[in-house]
């Protein structure tokens, strides 16, 4: 799975939310730093080239839709991050968040309960 740019990720989040959209629909969803219509169209076509997006043609107009689910992308993204930044160690990742005070002891207990009850 190819890495996406920040702008491509932003567009994918919009497409996941809308499920199907024309370029103008995506443009309406962008709050800050709106790109020009043609720039946005190019970004979406790049996503199509990367096999993240497909389209239905209606004459000269295209309606775009995600080919990759948000869950699939999240798994790939997290696997890459854990591999690249935590030496493939989930323990290192969790301890990082604990040290940064991004996860509490209660949340860790909840995670342990989830793991133990999965069996």
d(CA 21, CA 65): 7
Tell me: do 76 and 57 sit in the same domain: no
Query: Does residue 17 fall inside a structural domain?
Result: yes
Q: Which domain holds residue 56?
A: 6-66
Q: Looking at the structure, do residues 55 and 98 belong to the same domain, yes or no?
A: no
* Mean pLDDT score, 102-106: 90
Whether pLDDT at 119 is above 80: no
Three-class secondary structure of residue 56 per DSSP = strand
Is the residue at 49 inside a domain?
Answer: yes
Instruction: Tell me the percentage of the chain whose pLDDT exceeds 70.
Output: 99
Do 33 and 51 belong to one domain?
yes
Structure tokens at 48: 């199509």
Distance CA 44, CA 112 (A): 40
Torsion of CA 98, 104, 107, 113, to 10 degrees: 70
pTM of the model: 0.82
- 89 in Cβ contact with 28 (< 8 Å): no
The answer to whether residue 1 sits within a structural domain is no
Q: What is the pLDDT of residues 35-51, one digit of tens each?
A: 999 999 999 999 999 99
Instruction: Note whether 54 and 88 are same-domain residues.
Output: no
The DSSP call for residue 59 is T
pLDDT per position as a tens digit, 1-28: 788 999 999 999 999 999 999 999 999 9
- Displacement of CA 62 from its chain's centroid (Å): 22
What b-and-e string marks burial along 13-23, b requiring 16 or more CB atoms within 10 Å of the CB? Answer: ebbeebeebbb
Structurally, the chain folds into a number of domains equal to 2
* Residues contacting 18, CB < 8 A, separation 6+: 25, 26, 29
Q: Are 64 and 43 in contact (CB under 8 A)?
A: no
Identify whether residues 84 and 46 lie together within a single domain: no
């Amino acid at each position: 799975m190819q890495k996406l740019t920040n702008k491509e990720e932003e567009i994918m989040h919009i497409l996941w939310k809308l499920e199907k959209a024309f370029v103008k629909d995506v443009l309406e969803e962008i709050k800050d730093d709106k790109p020009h219509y043609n720039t946005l169209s190019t970004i979406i076509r790049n996503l199509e080239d990367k096999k993240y997006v497909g389209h239905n043609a209606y004459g000269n107009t295209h309606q775009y839709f995600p080919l990759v689910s948000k869950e699939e992308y999240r798994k790939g993204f997290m696997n890459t991050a854990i591999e690249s930044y935590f030496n493939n160690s989930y323990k290192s990742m969790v301890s990082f968040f604990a040290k940064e005070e991004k996860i509490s002891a209660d949340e860790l207990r909840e995670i342990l309960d989830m793991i133990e009850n999965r069996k």
